[in-house]
Structure 1
Amino acid sequence: MDIKTAKTIPINQLLQRLGCEVVKTSGGCQWYRSPSRIEKTPSFKLTRDANGWYDHGTGEGGNILDLAYRLHSGLPLAGKLDGQHVKEALMFIENVMGVRGSLTTPLQQSQPTSPEPHAFTLVNHAPFAVYGRGSSLTKSALYLGTRGVNAERVAPYLEDVTFVGSDGKKRYGFGLPNVSGGYEIRRYGDWAKRSVGTKDVTMFKAQREVAPWHTFYSLIDFCTFITVDKPPIGAYNYLIINSDSLVDIAIAYLDGLPAGFMIHYPHMDESGQRAYHKLVDFLTTHGWMGGDKADLYPGFKDWTEAREQQLGLTIPSVWSSRPSSSKLDQ
């Protein structure tokens, strides 16, 4: 996505994808509760054409790029964005909107808009298949093996998905269902990350009323935990934040729950740390307790990366080889 394309996206569409709702309309301008913090009274205002914004709580404002960087970084705006900040803002917008390239035409007037078509639309979903014909592992199961994941162990949480793009072409993959009825996908063949339907967080609730939460920042890290820890189904509550940009949405869901105990598996890169600390800041001010397991992967971005090195995996194509089942049980 480039700057010109990003600026054609009405800010209210970005806010809609982030789960923000219009609280009131006054003088042709839409007002929201701030997407960067928790508040009861709306202080976040859009211009009439929905191409500009102003946060009365912080005294900040600007265009969609300024907002994207503000939400992505969690840092106050300090003048004009530099090249790196613009790049980060564009990546944030692309992740939230779930598309590349041309999106929508700008609003001519500040009027309610219909939801933007999703980049990919769900056609069918089915239980995740570990084995295909002749009891051989499916390509998806083989791919998981190259990531150090035991496909049989994670199968109850995954689904096989058929979806189409705007070109009408069918595509296949596997993924996690999210709370909005969409899916976080790994596409069959190149295993690229995709979102089908609305991009959102994933939650699995424990069978018992009081259980710890385990929070992950990617599909594959969740699968690594299930492989290594081998927990019974329903033993824990799980939250999978399918993109660092979704941390505010995760906070909104948790805000309606009683305080509990949460264990985090944060990513150690800059974006991951911002998301992690933003979530922890919310939790600690709302009575939650917990900690993190970053000590499992010192020197690595995430647990999966560390485990891949431990198992001697270089992640070639899934057609070449896969680790033995004994390795995946380590």
Structure 2
Amino acid sequence: MDFRNEKSPLENFKETDMVSFLYELGFQPSTIRGHDYWYSSPLRNERTASFKVNRRLNKWFDHGPGKGGNLVDFGILYYNCSVGELLQKLGSALALDQPVHHYPAQPHTEQENKIQILDVKPLFSTPLFQYLSERKIPSKIASIHCKEVVYDLGGKHYYAIGFGNKSGGYELRNAFVKLSSSPKDFTLIDKGSKDIHVFEGFFDMLSYQALYNNSGKLQQSILVLNSISLFEKARSVLETHEKINLYLDRDKAGMDQTQYAVSLGHRYQDKSSLYQRHKDLNDWLVSFESVHRKYLNLKRGLNPNESL
């Protein structure tokens, strides 16, 4: 994205072609009808594409919740942040050197869009640690469980925080990207314990570590689904344990899956009440850290919004 003109970064972002932006995030349309591009919603889990982008108007509408707007509105919902925080993420994206390039008139072939892993190494890059800090994840915990992954997409090289699964694929995240490399699978961290903790995404697992086990050395086994759709595949592993603690998202898909799991037997326990007013465990952690910082600053007689 080139912000080197008279318009503000927010105005430039608002005018960015949304189809191209979604392509950079890893989302491609399932159907194109004239100016209308239809996607499985990036904002929630669904099986039938009901998220529409009108490319001529550069506006989106999600028919599930009945919400829509421009790219700024989408960015705020997608990253669950304020306008100011979105601007900070745009700054991180510039540092990551990941410009939004023009999406072709028709989708690329599967081979052209396939992510190719080029290098896997310990976390090193400052923008990635900055992103972890924004998500309130201590770098020492992230460094234990994650790698820095360099990958090729469409002939361009990028890098992201990588979380490996049991089949050799990676979940890839940075301030502007939410992708997965093939093969998609769940991640098992087996400690031989009688209990197992289950998380939908790896940032929730890292959040749990930040809250309860700051050393990063796990005491109990953990399974990260990496996608709610992998629950059934993971059941054979989960049900070898006496107690299965569920920390799934509190959106409709996550709550439906939790309710289904609990119905399977008493071993499944819903632990999401901890963050009942939040989307997921990481969202709660970010909110908790913010409130805690303000409390400490008030005790010290400082501006409540100052960084500690």
- Could you say which TM-score interval applies, normalised by the shorter chain? 0.5 to 0.7
Q: Are 1:68 and 2:51 matched, yes or no?
A: no
Residues 279-307 of structure 1, C-alpha deviation per residue, up to 9 Å, x if partnerless? 444x52xxx61422222113111122122
Distance 1:242 1:182 in 2: 11
Q: Deviations over 1:17-63 (max 9, x none)?
A: xxxxxxxxxxxxxxxxxxxxxxxxxxxxxxxxxxxxxxxxxxxxxxx
1:73 maps to none
The structure showing larger relative contact order (alpha-carbon pairs under 8 Å, at least 6 residues apart) is: 1
CA distance in 1, matches of 2:256, 2:306: 34
Point out where structure 1 has 5 or more consecutive residues left out of the alignment: 7-66, 71-82, 88-99, 105-114, 133-137, 314-320, 325-330
Alignment of 1:52-131 (within 5 A): 68-69=47-48, 84=63, 102=107, 119-129=114-124
More helix by share: 2
Shift of 1:323: 5.5
| Amino acid across the alignment from 1:120 | I
Identical positions, percent: 20
Q: Report the AA paired with residue 265 of structure 1.
A: Y
Query: What's the counterpart of residue 250 of structure 1?
Result: 231
Separation (CA, whole Å) in 2 of partners of 1:201 and 1:117 = 25
Instruction: Report the RMSD for the aligned CA atoms in angstroms.
Output: 3.5
TM-score, normalisation: structure 2? 0.57
Contact 2:209 2:216 in 1 (8 A): no
* Cα shift at 1:125: 0.4
Q: 1:164 to 1:270 in 2, by over 3 A?
A: same
| Partner residue in 1 for 2:243 | 261
1-structure distance, mates of 2:112, 2:30? 21
- What is the aligned partner in structure 1 of residue 259 from structure 2? 277
- Does residue 187 of structure 2 align to residue 192 of structure 1? no
Instruction: Indicate how the Cα distance of structure 1 residues 116 and 253 shifts in structure 2: closer, same or farther if over 3 A, else same.
Output: farther
**Contact kept in structure 2, 1:175 and 1:186, CA below 8 Å:** yes
Partners of 1:125 and 1:280 in 2: CA distance: 38
In structure 2, distance between residues paired with 1:298 and 1:140: 28
1:172 to 159, 162, 170: 159
Q: Given the two structures, how large is their TM-score scaled by the length of structure 1? A: 0.53
Alpha-carbon separation, structure 2, partners of 1:212 and 1:149: 24
Shift of 1:184: 0.5
Q: Distance in 2 between matches of 1:221 and 1:273?
A: 15
Q: Which residue of 2 aligns with 1:236?
A: 220
The offset of 1:274, in angstroms, is 2.3
Q: Matched residue of 1:220: which SS?
A: helix
Is this contact kept in 2: 1:118–1:198, CA < 8 A? no
- Counterpart amino acid of 1:122? I
- For residue 157 of structure 1, the aligned residue among 135, 140, 145 is 145
User: Amino acid of the residue matched to residue 4 of structure 1?
Assistant: T
Which letter does structure 1 place at the counterpart of 2:224? Answer: I
SS of the residue corresponding to residue 255 of structure 1 reads helix
The separation in 2 between residues aligned to 1:295 and 1:289, in whole angstroms, is: 17
Q: 1:297 aligns with which of 275, 278, 282?
A: 275
CA contact (8 A) 1:122 1:164 kept: yes
Deviation at 1:5, TM superposition (A): 5.8
- 8 Å CA contact 1:161–1:172 kept in 2: the answer is yes
Q: Letter of the aligned partner of 1:154 in structure 2?
A: A
Question: Whole-Å Cα distance in 2 between the matches of residues 120 and 305 of structure 1?
Answer: 28
C-alpha deviation, 1:200, in angstroms: 2.1
Amino acid at match of 1:127: P
Could you tell me which residue of structure 2 aligns to residue 204 of structure 1?
A: 189
Counterpart Cα distance in 2 of 1:280 and 1:202:
21
- Residue 97 of structure 2: aligned partner: none
1:149–1:227 contact (8 Å) kept in structure 2? yes
CA distance in 1, matches of 2:133, 2:286: 10
Q: How many residues align?
A: 205
Hey, what does 1:78 align to over in structure 2? none
Contact 1:201-1:241 at 8 Å conserved across structures: yes
8 Å contact kept, 1:118–1:196:
no
Offset of residue 123 of structure 1: 0.7
Distance in 2 of aligned mates of 1:223 and 1:239? 12
> Within 2, Cα distance between the matches of 1:294 and 1:184?
23
AA in 2 matched with 1:298:
Q
- 2-structure distance, mates of 1:193, 1:225: 20
Residues of 2 paired with 1:193 and 1:243: CA distance?
12
SS in 1 for 2:217: coil
